[in-house]
Structure 1
Amino acid sequence: MTTEFKICNCNRTMPLDAAAGIQLGKVLGTSALPVATELCRREVGSYLASLDGVDDVVVACTQERGLFAELAQQKNAVAPLRFVNIRETGGWGAQARSSLPKMAALLAAAALPDPEPVPTVDYQSAGHVLIIGPADRALSWAQRLGSQLDVSVLLTGSVGGEMLQDREFPVFSGKQVAISGWLGAFTVKWQQANPIDLETCTRCNACIEVCPENAIDLTYQIDLNKCTSHRDCVKACGTIGAIDFTRIATERSSEFDLIFDLSDVPLLTLHQPPQGYFATGALAEKQMDQAFKLTQMVGEFSKPKFFLYKEKLCAHGRNGKIGCTSCIDVCSAEAISHNGNQIKVNPNLCVGCGACTTVCPSGALAYAYPRVTDTGTRVKTMLNTYAKAGGTQPMLLLHNQEQGSALVNQIGRQAQAHGKLHGMPAHVMPIELHHVAATGIDVWLTALAYGATHVAILTTAQDAPQYVSALTQQIDIAQTILSGLGYEGVHLSLIQASTAAQLDAELASIEPAQVPAQRALFNIVADKRSTLELAIDHLKTHAPLAVDAIPLPAGSPYGVVMVNQDACTLCMSCVGACPESALTDNANLPQLRFLEKNCVQCGLCEKTCPENAITLAPRLLLTSAAKELQVLHEAEPFHCISCHKPFGTAKMIENMVSKLSLHGAFSGNVDRLKMCSDCRVVDMMANKQESSINGLK
């Protein structure tokens, strides 16, 4: 199956002509590409003709995506349709005339097959919404939304406002509100503390009329700061029984599909709150925007399951000891929790940032939307096509789909319209990701091995602070490796921009760094550690410096385990704790052995060691020793005093005897500690039999 490319110079505002079409066709392995001038208007017939077959169609225009998609739908076209932006990302800007290699790379990436489908997470919402907040806001919005949604109200304050006389929807009051769950499955708990129960109250105003302190207003809640406990209101309420001053604050709860939080300070302060939760504060404009979104959240919804979890590789815990907590610490949605010796990821709360996969040292967590292999194919295709088209010193700009894409488009438009910005440099290729935190050192180092002279990661105000911290740490690790190998320059950078001008200035200041003279040919694989091994091996093979080891910053996924031989008793607790088989014993000799390439520096061995004999040191060992078993400690075996079979070590038995000899269970049988397990049982049975015989006598 072939791909038909539809390109346009957008009313001659881009330097694309027939000669450029010939060159693009040659690079992309097809015939010369016709270059339209008004593909979305006068020449739309050319686009419609391309839809007649079943071959893929790539349209190099995203501005008119809606129009082109609608035309394809009207024609009942079956041809797969894809869109790519070559205008703001290359054709508009100070270096537009040098951007043809980048355009070819973007077109080639757009022509790649769609990634394989991933599992989905499904939600169902019937539109039962709980509106939380002060009476003046909550009741007003409840009345406006009541015709579209199934509304309930929880009043958390009585500042202003007036209760609606018609009982159109349930109204509660309370404090200490706790929210858990997600779209279609929220649980809300609160404390009913006010003496007036709004669900029982008939709003007859009898209590208001008799209250001498005017402590009750038309929200039918008692201001306990004004109340002096005359209890006239209780008498006025009579048998209705809505007022009870003796009520002990009781917890109430209910289930809802949606939450509309109008509190001054959101009840959920997560950077990535669960889907179905909308918080606005007192801002009327934000309330309008969120209310509209709220009304669209009725029905059945699905999203990708963004992660893959390989429990066997997880270095979170062993035997009740906690090791690596990187994924838990970085998750801004609190979707990851401790679950015994492993972690648990709640797919309903996961928002797909991918930061957990970036910081995971073992590869137990992998990103699935798209899979890392798909991202690797995209990066490799772009860099290979760019080089084939004659491009030099390529750089990559990783950005997210929302604010990142908006900034990329803005610098192109502003460069074209006003000429105040440079626009996207000709050698910088933007790559849109669901989230920039979803790629880590395995992808970055591989991109550099493929020939990229710099990888820039664009973050915006949309990104959680912990994502920025995690990316900064991972960049530090990768740059330390590259600098340690002798590659000159800065290879990775984190761009933090909130305006097009900031992004434009940052891109203009980036200088290409030194990379291998020969581009790597391997493909990114699903296993993170295997990809890292391939990338580092290529970088080492062509490195300017020959080094045996590179010290790494804290938090690195590589390192050595160091053992204090004077303290170590070879109890092998560390072997049982190691989740990656980096530490092993020897079935034939009392030896503690170490395979450095497997170590992820999780610290479980250090925390498990009863003698505090283990310390960790992050480093990258580049010699063959990293793949060979190294003996960290060994000792002469201790021989059973009964059968002379070797078991344990002399030091271990010595420590055991020293600690247990005064214990009541062993004080009279210390020699038993010096026996192997078989002889110990024989001795115990013999002693028991002798005692029985003596008892009969």
Structure 2
Amino acid sequence: MATRFKVCNCNRTMPLDAAAGVAIADAVGVSALPVASQLCRREVGAYLDTLEGSDQVVVACTQERALFSELAAQRETVAPIRFVNIRETGGWGKEARQAMPKMAALLAAAALPDPEPVPSVDYMSGGNVLLVGPSTRVMPWAERLAAQLEVSILLTSVSGNDVLLERRYPVFSGNRVRVDGWLGAFKVRWEQANPIDLELCTRCNACINACPEDAIGLDYQINMAACTGHRDCVKACEAIGAIDFTRSATSREKEFDLVFDLSDQPLISLHQPPQGYFAPGGDPVREAEFALQLTQLVGEFSKPRFFAYKEKLCAHGRNKKTGCSACIDICSAGAISSAGDHVTVNPHLCAGCGACTTVCPSGAMTYAYPRASDLGRKLQTLLTTYAKAGGQQPALLLHSEESGAALIDALGRMAGTRSAHGVPARVIPVAMHHVASAGIDVWLSALAFGASNVLILLTGEEAPQYVDALEQQAGISRSILAALGYEGRHIELLQASSALELDTELQRPQPAAVPAAPATFHVDAEKRTTLRFAIDHLVAHAPVPATEIALPAGSPFGAVAVNTSACTLCMSCVGACPESALIDNPAKPQLRFIEANCVQCGLCEKTCPENAISLTPRLLLDSRARERVVLNEAEPFHCIRCGAPFGTLQMVENMLTRLAGHGAFAGNLDRIKMCGDCRVVDMMENKQEVSILDVKR
């Protein structure tokens, strides 16, 4: 599909003229690119003319996105329309005149076809909301929300006359509250602590009048410190049965679509709570914001299924031994759990951060929104177009679509008034759903494509474990690049919570060394394949030749060392290895190793009954990485009956030594020296001999 571009210099506030239009047109592959000055006003006719036909249209303006979209709707155009921001991202700022290559790159990336759709995760909410917390907070919000939502309340403490006399919605009381679930499917459990069940109580005041200690007030809860246990209130309540001091079944459970947690401390402490759960933590402003969001969560909703999981590649566990648990440990939404030898992901809880895919060493967990191949294509397009337009030393700025984009926009507006430097000309912003979804495979690929730096913008919204994981991934990348002689700091984490902080942070990174020629491979769906492509290219153009690189702990590459004096070649490690890095030899007792397959999950180390295995993180860069290396071999033991080799001499001798004193085996040690077939034959012959003796007797 052809693409038409509409570019505007925003009333001449950007240094875009006819000459710049020619240069950008050449870089993005179109014959001409007129530059407007007031595309949204007096030159709007040029925009409307572009809508004729079915070719997609890329408009280099997000300021007037709503206007351009409305005009297209009025025209009933069939042309797909996309918008890209070239103003705040570089057109305004001290380096705006040098930003033409970046603008061309952003336009070219905006013209890329949409990625293939991914499966969706659906939610259904009827608006049944539970308000939980102290009555002083819960009751006022219950009154306000009752007109728009189906309200229920669970009071963890009651003060004064906070309980409504009129039964307008269900009222419960209790403690030890537990909330599980997600939008449309929350399950709330609690303990009915007070003898008075507020849901059964009719507010008749009979108990209040009957209580001689005045232990019951208009909150309809018994003050147990004042109660002497005379039980006059129980008699007054009679058949209603709302008061029970001997209640044995105190557990309560209800289902709700939404939960408004007004407790001082949230009942769900996850950094990323499930959708439909709101916990303002006593902040009145956030209470109001969340209340508004609650009213909008009625109906059917869907979100992308952010991940794809290939169990056969997973290095989580084997034979009830746990190896890699990186995805479980890092998930801030509690969406990933162990299921024995593999993991399970609850798509309704998954928030789409993608950190699990970044730390997964094998590529069993991959990000699907967008897929790695789609992101790789975008980065390659940005860098290729930037270079074609004459740009040098490009830096990619990976940022979140919400907080990160807002900071960049704010910085751009400040730069437009000359109160900030603005986004440097060589820095190309790349919006992502979450910055934690890209790791070493994407970063090294970007450097292989020609990026001088990969910058990851952190705004404070990230879970602490995400920051730690990104730092670890950056450390691995730096170790590889430094060993290959690429000077500079290629991977940087920038932290900013304001536009001014971002302005300062963006001036800090310096261009780092890149390969002499950009790579042409495509980012593959398989993480390990992409890593191999990227590292091979970096090695091919490395300033310093290297065949082996020492890596920090936690790296997805490395060697396995075997203590041959302890190893009995039982091959338990072979059965435990999920990546076929450890393999046996059917022809003879040999333990072999293919280092390129190893993800350093540690399952072999934990499975080995002799504790003979240790791991060494490193990266081999020559042919040894793919060779089958013998880690241990032994003289085979030959069956004493048929002479066929089986097992190893060391293993059989160890078994004979251990079982010689055992009563059950002492008389049958020769069978241990036989192969499996001969052992069966010997047992059958012995059984026949015993039967013949019995007959003779």
Q: Same fold (TM over 0.5)?
A: yes
Q: What secondary structure sits across from 1:615 in the alignment?
A: strand
Correspondence 1:106 to 2:91: no
Q: CA deviation at 1:495?
A: 1.1
- Summarize deviations over 1:503-530 as a string: whole Å, max 9, x none: 1111101101111111111111111100
How many residue pairs align between the two structures?
Answer: 696
Which AA in structure 2 matches 1:349?
A: L
CA shift for structure 1 position 161: 5.0
Instruction: Tell me the distance in 2 between the aligned counterparts of 1:262 and 1:538.
Output: 55
SS at match of 2:667: coil
1:226 lines up with 2:199 in the alignment: no
Give, in angstroms, the shift of residue 15 of structure 1.
Answer: 0.7
Distance 2:216 2:548 in 1: 75
Q: Separation in 1 of the partners of 2:349 and 2:122? A: 12
Deviation by residue 1:253-296 (Cα, 9 ceiling, x = unmatched): 11111111111111001111111111112222211110110011
- Equivalence for 2:495: 496
After TM superposition, give the deviation of residue 659 of structure 1 in Å.
Answer: 1.7
1:160–1:25: structure 2 CA closer, same or farther, 3 Å change rule?
Answer: farther
Instruction: Tell me, in whole angstroms, the C-alpha distance in 1 between the residues paired with 2:175 and 2:98.
Output: 63
Match of 2:667 in 1: 668
SS in 2 for 1:133: strand
Q: Look up the match of 1:558.
A: 557
* Matching of residue 343 in structure 1 with residue 343 in structure 2: yes
| Deviation of 1:237 (Å) | 2.1
The answer to whether the aligner puts 1:575 opposite 2:574 as a matched pair is: yes
SS of residue matched to 2:494: strand
Deviates more, 1:640-649 or 1:241-250: 241-250
What amino acid does structure 2 have at the position aligned with 1:422?
H
Gaps of 5+ in 1: none
Give 2:585's aligned residue. Answer: 586
Per mean C-alpha deviation after superposition, the further-off stretch among 208-217 and 630-639 is: 208-217
Correspondence list, 1:8-87, <5 A: 8-87=8-87
Partners of 2:582 and 2:528 lie apart in 1 by 17
Give the corresponding residue for 2:439: 440
Corresponding residue SS for 2:566: coil
- 1:597-648 deviations in whole A, cap 9, x for unaligned? 0000000000110000000000000110101100000011000111111000
Encode CA deviations 1:204-236: one digit per residue, 9 max, x unaligned. Answer: 222233434433232211222333323332233
Alignment of 1:206-605 (within 5 A): 206-248=206-248, 250-417=250-417, 419-605=418-604
Match of 1:618 in 2: 617
Contact 2:55 2:79 in 1 (8 A): yes
- Per-residue CA deviation, residues 133-184 of structure 1 (Å, 9 max, x unaligned), is 1112212211211111111111111135521121111111111111111111
The question of 1:640 aligning with 2:635 is answered no
Of the structure 1 ranges 506-515 and 38-47, higher mean CA displacement relative to structure 2 is found in: 38-47
SS where residue 668 of structure 1 aligns? Answer: helix
Q: Which residue of 2 aligns with 1:180?
A: 180
Q: How does 1:160-199 map to 2 (within 5 A)?
A: 160=160, 162-199=162-199
| Alpha-carbon shift at residue 249 of structure 1 (Å) | 5.5
User: How many Å separate the matches in 2 of 1:74 and 1:259?
Assistant: 41
Between the aligned partners of 1:476 and 1:225, the Cα distance in structure 2 is 59
Q: 2: distance between equivalents of 1:219 and 1:284?
A: 24
Name the CA shift for 1:45/1:224 in 2 (closer, same or farther; >3 Å). Answer: farther
Q: Quote how far apart the aligned CAs of 1:662 are.
A: 2.2
Pick which of 141-150 and 584-593 moved more.
141-150
| Structure 1 consecutive aligned stretches of length 4 or more whose deviation exceeds 4 Å | none
Alignment partners' CA distance in 2, 1:657 and 1:178: 56
Alignment of 1:130-149 (within 5 A): 130-149=130-149
Give ranges in structure 2 of 5+ residues lacking alignment: none
Residue 200 of structure 1 corresponds to 200
CA distance in 2, matches of 1:58, 1:161: 61
Structure 1 position 86, deviation (Å): 0.4
- Per-residue CA distance 1:543-601 (angstroms, 9 max, x = gap): 11111110101110000000000000000000000000000000101000000000000
Q: Distance in 2 between matches of 1:660 and 1:178?
A: 53
Say whether the 8 Å CA contact 1:190–1:253 is kept in structure 2. Answer: yes
Provide the residue aligned with 1:89 in structure 2.
Answer: 89
**Counterpart for residue 125 of structure 1:** 125
Distance 1:96 1:232 in 2: 83
User: What's the offset of the Cα at 1:6?
Assistant: 1.1
Q: Distance in 2 between matches of 1:523 and 1:562?
A: 34
Residue 39 to residue 248, structure 1, CA distance change in 2 (3 Å) = same
Q: Contact between 1:193 and 1:248, CA under 8 Å: does it hold in 2?
A: no
Cα distance in 2 between the residues matched to 1:44 and 1:161: 63
Letter in 2 for 1:131: L
| Contact 1:135 1:160 survives alignment (8 Å) | no
In structure 1, give the amino acid aligned to 2:467.
V
SS at match of 1:308: strand
Deviation at 1:320, TM superposition (A): 1.0
Q: Is the 8 Å Cα contact of residues 159 and 219 (structure 2) preserved in structure 1? A: no
Q: Distance in 2 between matches of 1:683 and 1:661?
A: 19
For 1:160 and 1:531, the matched residues in 2 are separated by: 65
State the distance in 2 between where 1:654 and 1:616 align. 28
Greater mean deviation of Cα atoms: 496-505 or 248-257: 248-257
Match of 1:3 in 2: 3
Given that 1:193 and 1:249 are in contact with CA atoms closer than 8 Å, whether structure 2 keeps it comes out as no
Structure 1 vs Structure 2: percent identity of aligned residues? 66
Distance change (3 Å), C-alpha of 1:460 and 1:227: farther
CA deviations over 1:417-457 (Å, ceiling 9, x no partner): 2x232100000000000000111111100100111111010
8 Å contact kept, 1:606–1:613: yes
- The residue type equivalent to 2:518 in the other structure is R
> Secondary structure at 2:666's aligned position in 1?
coil
Partner SS, residue 562 of structure 1:
strand
SS of the equivalent of 1:669 reads helix
The answer on whether the counterparts of 2:488 and 2:511 sit within 8 Å (CA) in structure 1 is yes
Q: CA deviation at 1:200?
A: 1.1
Supply the distance in 1 between the matched residues of 2:295 and 2:214 (Cα, whole angstroms).
39
Cα shift at 1:29: 1.2
Q: Are 1:40 and 1:64, in contact at CA under 8 Å, matched by a contact in 2? A: yes
SS at match of 1:259: strand
* Structure 1 residue 500, shift from structure 2 partner: 1.1
Segment of structure 1 superposing worse, 306-315 or 231-240: 231-240
Say if 1:397 and 1:430, in contact at 8 Å, map to a contact too: yes
**Alpha carbons 2:118, 2:368 under 8 Å: kept:** yes
- Which moves more between the two structures, 265-274 or 659-668? 659-668
Secondary structure of residue in 1 paired with 2:348: coil
Q: Give the Cα separation in 1 of the matches to 2:157 and 2:34.
A: 66
One-letter amino acid matched to 2:290: Q
Deviating more after overlay: 373-382 vs 145-154: 145-154
